[in-house]
Structure 1
Amino acid sequence: MDSFCDLEVDVNGEAVFMVDKKRISSFSGRLSHLFGKSASSGSSFKVIFHDFPGGAETFELVARFCYNNGSIEISPTNLSFLHSAAYFMEMSRSVSGTENLIELTEKSLEEISYWTWSDLLLALKQNQNQNMPEDVKTASVVQKCLDTLVGRLAVASETSPCPSTSSPESFGFRISCDSRSTESLKTSCSRANWWFEDLSVLNQNLVELAVKNMVSRKLDHGMIGRFLLHYQKLKFISAQSDEKCRIIEMVVSNLCSLDHWSVSFKNLMGLLRILLNLNVSKCTRSRLEGIIGLRMDEATLDSLLVPSPHGMNYLYDVNLVLRLLKSFLGGGLPKVSNDRIIRVSHLLDSYLAEVAPDPCLKPSKFIALATALPDSSRDSYDEMYHAMDMYLEVHTDLTEEETFNICSALNYEKLSAEACVHLSKNAKFPSSSTVQALLSQQTKLKSLLHDANNPKSCSSSPGTGGGARSRKDESSQQIVLYAGKFDVMTENENIRAHLQGMQCRVTELEKVCQKMQTQVAKMMRSKSSNNMNPRSLPRFCS
């Protein structure tokens, strides 16, 4: 059949085609409506397309379809392009009883579930490499490919936990469209994450769609999390700074959709360290810090020692730790178990000791760290006291008010006797701190004296007399220690005299208790010889 070229088609500025206007119009409703009755005339026309799906390469396929009387080979590499182009050109017309292009592409879409693993990846790669416009038709092809791809992963994970049978070979399709050695393929098949490398060829948009599909199909969140981290590491090798930001924002966004305990704390902190060196959005950083903060009790001291941001003169990023602590307590204390809070308090005290020698650390930041957790989280304030001691030793230029504010974070009632002795001799601490320590120790002594005067403090039975004496000896030793501490406080003679009096009283009580224990022992010996009923024995200490 003779034909001549009377239509010039400029496709997206990529190429210009000279085609038979009548032949093309007979298949394309769009061009037929455009030319009207002039489609059969001998006049020449020119059409310019600015957003033709798939560009010049796809238009050439459409033209071949028209010149071959509605015959074309549809493959995974061109299906999405032809499908979008068919609707773009309104190719629902049939010539000489042949199927139109829309019908052919729709039938091919129904057969996607029979494609090989390699074909599915090829189709997805073609879509992302051609930068096709995001129209409904293109999206439907991409979604079908992803649904099939993820569906096979879901079936593999459900039907066989064994790595050898959880590979794509068990479904009759190849592992990847990439050219890799046979040894590499065998190694990949032997792992449960055999598909990580294959899906890493996809761009960020397609990976995000794939992950959402995996979550909806309830694939293991731990496996999904490991894939996202693998994708980030692999793409970072050759990515520029801007692209790294987009990649890590996508990864963090999808990690937030997973169970917060699906990724190890160490990996999350590693991701955060990378993120802090990039110009990512504040929202992305906050979301990742929120996940990490919820698991603050899993942190180690090394993981928290993150260098300060560029341009800051202090050594470690204290603001980061404060944000993590805020996230940890964000759900409210009733939602955080006591054991977890105690672990975090020990960690924070160690962190305080580590950052205290930093000469650039401001008093306000040190105080913020010291008061970040509630008082109930600590049974002892000894570690915090030693951290304060180091901080005051380095920061000798603090004002009296700043020093007072720092020391006010201490709970003197939870300081050990040893710490109080050290504090009483510590000239770096203000006199008000010494007085508070004295008062708290006086309260403890009164409590000890009350216990000593309480008959229940002794043994309730002969068998426990030794334990009672041990507790009394311990109490006496503590009081002697307190008294020794207060001897150095010459400015408070009244308290020292009072302590000495209480020490004498405790000594007298010890003698009385010892006599009572001797009597109990004699009665026990008498009981064993006379077979007396134990209930008839008097109870001296109960």
Structure 2
Amino acid sequence: MESPKGRTSPLMGSSPYSSPNIALLLRRRILSWTRETKLEPSISVHVGGKIFELHKVPLISKCGYFNKALQNSSEIELPENFPGGSESFEMVMLFTYDFPLIIDPFNVSALRCVADFLEMAEEYHPLNLVERSDLYLNQVVFQNWDDTLIVLQKCIPLIPVSEELLIVSRCVESLAFMACMEILEPERKTNRSALSMQGLTGRNWNCEIVKEIAGQDLWIKDLIALPFEFFKQIIGSLRRQGMREKYVGPIVMFYANKWVLSKKTHKFWEETSEENGIEDANTKVITILEGIIDLLPLEEKAGNSILVAFYFALLLRSLSLNLREDSKIKLHEKLVSVLHLARHSDFLLPEKRNRSGSVGSSLEVETMERIVKMYVAGRRKIGSKGQTPLRDLSVVADSWDQYITEIASDLSLGIERFVQLIEVIPTVDRETHDHLYEAITTYLLEHSGLSSEEKTSLCYYIECRKLSHEKCVHAVQNDQMPLRLIVQALFLQQIHTHQALKDCSDSFRYMQSSELAVTGTLTPNSASPYDGCPHSTSLSNKEYESASFRIQALEKEIISLKKSLQCENSATVPSFRVMGLDGSNTSRRRKPFGQVRGCVGFGSMTWGSQRCAGRILKLFRRIGLLRKGKGKGMRK
């Protein structure tokens, strides 16, 4: 069986039997028969607007249809749906007049369909046209990639007869089998660039690059040039015959890229349409897109065989088309299944040229919001059953926070809508609040007209204990943050410093006790309590005790400041909550949107109280300098 290797397209050639040639050959053959038999044509056959004057003997000797029909009449009109029309009839009549007709890939499908209609089987003549056509299909066409493609293309105007005779299905199975052999062929295992998605991983979808990759293998180029109905059948056959999904998926992607995502194809359809170009082009794209959605692999195989950027490219294309509702739901479900593999840059941003009103009401943002909500609901449902961990959910949460950071700077985005976007991901499902902090900071910078209460309400969603050290430091110095968040960040830094010193102290005592147990004495170069700590490794006992005493004194001063601040604001704040060392929350209730929500115990605090925060900042700097001093001592 010939594989589809380096060659030109199989449709570049054509049959030697053109319509004028066939008609001329048939007329000559009829005249020759008349001279040989001394009999004039006595049968009139009407087909495709033409009238053929023929002899009765050749017709009834090979055609069961005429054998029955000519018993009562000498004039016959064939139906309008006669396979192939008058041209196919002319070729078959040459065969009935014993002309040495050459069967080739360009005419065999038409000959086979007409032979079936006219009942040209062996019961009327040995090795009749039905048997000859089948023999040629089985022994020649289905053994060759190019011939099979030609026959499949020629079956299009012969549908549904070519489908009923299984010509189409046999072509499909043959092409699928040869494609599988192409994948399994040993010498090509190290050179399958077209089906390797490594070059596209981590990049946004680019139609031209994908088109160039698809054209590197001619057999793939041939498949994606087929009409969608044939292509759909081939994909089904590839899967039935065992081709792995990592090879099938890219073929589907290449097809969709050519016929759905390519602007050049859409423009071509518009220009070649006889009536409403845009509407006709959209109709064709919708039909193919809805079929592509059905061809996309199942959930467990989707992420391994198809690029996530491709799903988002289809999603973006679907927004401008009037898809059926069930197709929209299917596409969203397919995308939900791979959302944890997406980057925030894959998410659909509002297009300014199409935007009307607020960015929050744009079709792109609303679609992304709906998909993320579907993902969150599905993952939490799975996680509640203990089937899978919620790790993927935190990844999606991180991407979503980066996404809303990009749209937070839009001045048309109201605070209520911004809060709705934040709440798409529950706070507990965020492992880190770094990107959420960035989103809120961006929003506060661009929306300078917010009141203190609105700022505080937004910052309620930030949990400082889920911020990284860098973000905590940034929050302390961020003028956009309310005082309560600044103080919370300060106290968390205090807690971290205290815990770091405690860990170093425990490590130091353990090493000292171990050495004493082994040797009975301590060596002059005994390990310091900062051995193994990130900032220092060699402080003496006196330095350690002095440092511990100073840290404790600073902690007491901070606690004193905290109490004074609480007293200062007790007249305006009836209740507050304190975040304990273990991260527990002691607040009794959550206040409604627009009101102040305490984080560390300061509730609604006037911005003038930042004088106290300045003192706390000075204490924090002293702690930092102390730690740096320890690091310098370590390096000496």
Cα distance change, pair 114–479 in 1 and its aligned pair in 2 (3 A):
farther
SS at match of 1:109: helix
Amino acid at match of 2:295: N
Correspondence for 2:102 among 73, 82, 95? 73
Correspondence for 1:38 among 72, 75, 78? 72
Deviation at 1:394, TM superposition (A): 5.2
- 2:167 aligns to what? 141
Correspondence for 2:439 among 387, 390, 394? 387
Deviation at 1:47, TM superposition (A): 1.0
Query: Any conservation in 2 of the 1:208–1:254 contact (CA below 8 Å)?
Result: yes
Unaligned runs of 5+ in 2: 1-36, 194-211, 270-280, 513-526, 534-543, 574-600, 603-611, 617-636
SS at match of 1:261: helix
Is 1:125 aligned with 2:125?
A: no
- 2:358 aligns to what? 314
Deviation at 1:123, TM superposition (A): 1.0
Counterparts of 1:94 and 1:268, CA distance in 2? 56
Residues 367-446 of structure 1: pairs in structure 2 closer than 5 A: 367-381=419-433, 383-391=435-443, 409-411=461-463, 414=466
- The sequence identity of aligned pairs, in percent, is 18
Segment of structure 1 superposing worse, 103-112 or 307-316? 307-316
Counterparts of 1:160 and 1:210, CA distance in 2? 23
- 1:277 aligns to what? 320
Is 1:225 aligned with 2:253?
A: no
- 2:341 aligns to what? 298
Segment of structure 1 superposing worse, 459-468 or 84-93? 459-468
Is 1:344 aligned with 2:392?
A: no
- 2:311 aligns to what? 268
Counterparts of 1:101 and 1:194, CA distance in 2? 34
Deviation at 1:228, TM superposition (A): 2.8
Query: Any conservation in 1 of the 2:347–2:368 contact (CA below 8 Å)?
Result: yes
Cα distance change, pair 321–238 in 1 and its aligned pair in 2 (3 A):
closer
Counterparts of 2:330 and 2:167, CA distance in 1? 32
Counterparts of 2:190 and 2:400, CA distance in 1? 46
Deviation at 1:160, TM superposition (A): 0.8
Correspondence for 2:291 among 235, 250, 253? 250
Q: Taking structure 1 as the reference length, what is the TM-score of the superposition?
A: 0.68
- 1:24 aligns to what? 59
Deviation at 1:409, TM superposition (A): 4.3
Amino acid at match of 1:78: N
Deviation at 1:482, TM superposition (A): 7.4
- 1:528 aligns to what? none
Residues 473-488 of structure 1: pairs in structure 2 closer than 5 A: none
SS at match of 2:96: helix
Task: State the Cα deviation string for residues 238-266 of structure 1 (Å, max 9, x = none).
Answer: 34233333333333332235643212223
Unaligned runs of 5+ in 1: 168-186, 504-542
Counterparts of 2:554 and 2:234, CA distance in 1? 69
Task: State the Cα deviation string for residues 25-84 of structure 1 (Å, max 9, x = none).
Answer: 44333344344x325xxxx52414121222322222222222228x64332222222222
Segment of structure 1 superposing worse, 353-362 or 202-211? 353-362
Task: State the Cα deviation string for residues 347-370 of structure 1 (Å, max 9, x = none).
Answer: 222222221222333555423321
Deviation at 1:213, TM superposition (A): 1.5
SS at match of 2:87: helix
Residues 431-470 of structure 1: pairs in structure 2 closer than 5 A: 461=510, 462=512, 465-466=529-530
Task: State the Cα deviation string for residues 109-147 of structure 1 (Å, max 9, x = none).
Answer: 33256632221121112123xx22224655611222222
Cα distance change, pair 476–20 in 1 and its aligned pair in 2 (3 A):
farther
Query: Any conservation in 1 of the 2:344–2:402 contact (CA below 8 Å)?
Result: yes
SS at match of 1:357: coil
Counterparts of 1:341 and 1:230, CA distance in 2? 30
Bigger RCO of structures 1 and 2 (CA < 8 A, at least 6 apart): 2
Counterparts of 1:448 and 1:385, CA distance in 2? 22
Counterparts of 1:277 and 1:203, CA distance in 2? 23
Counterparts of 1:440 and 1:165, CA distance in 2? 55
- 2:82 aligns to what? 52
Cα distance change, pair 161–352 in 1 and its aligned pair in 2 (3 A):
same
Cα distance change, pair 453–102 in 1 and its aligned pair in 2 (3 A):
closer
Is 1:212 aligned with 2:236?
A: yes
Task: State the Cα deviation string for residues 133-186 of structure 1 (Å, max 9, x = none).
Answer: 22465561122222222212222322315369999xxxxxxxxxxxxxxxxxxx
Task: State the Cα deviation string for residues 416-454 of structure 1 (Å, max 9, x = none).
Answer: 86688679x869x7xxxx889989999999999999999
Amino acid at match of 1:238: T
Counterparts of 2:175 and 2:370, CA distance in 1? 40
Cα distance change, pair 159–386 in 1 and its aligned pair in 2 (3 A):
closer
- 2:41 aligns to what? 4
Correspondence for 2:121 among 92, 95, 111? 92
- 2:221 aligns to what? 197
SS at match of 1:38: coil
Amino acid at match of 2:241: R
RMSD over aligned Cα atoms: 4.9
Deviation at 1:322, TM superposition (A): 1.7
Cα distance change, pair 399–133 in 1 and its aligned pair in 2 (3 A):
farther
Counterparts of 2:51 and 2:455, CA distance in 1? 79
Is 1:491 aligned with 2:569?
A: yes
SS at match of 1:198: helix
SS at match of 2:127: coil
Aligned length: 464
Counterparts of 2:155 and 2:502, CA distance in 1? 86
Query: Any conservation in 2 of the 1:421–1:485 contact (CA below 8 Å)?
Result: no
Deviation at 1:209, TM superposition (A): 1.3
SS at match of 1:8: strand
Counterparts of 2:192 and 2:343, CA distance in 1? 36
Correspondence for 1:353 among 380, 405, 413? 405
Amino acid at match of 2:232: E
Cα distance change, pair 312–52 in 1 and its aligned pair in 2 (3 A):
farther
Amino acid at match of 1:202: L
Counterparts of 1:142 and 1:280, CA distance in 2? 29
Task: State the Cα deviation string for residues 466-507 of structure 1 (Å, max 9, x = none).
Answer: 4797899878867866776776663138979xx99xx9xxxx
Deviation at 1:208, TM superposition (A): 1.3
Query: Any conservation in 2 of the 1:25–1:32 contact (CA below 8 Å)?
Result: yes
Query: Any conservation in 2 of the 1:124–1:145 contact (CA below 8 Å)?
Result: yes
Query: Any conservation in 2 of the 1:196–1:231 contact (CA below 8 Å)?
Result: no
Cα distance change, pair 482–385 in 1 and its aligned pair in 2 (3 A):
farther
SS at match of 1:49: coil
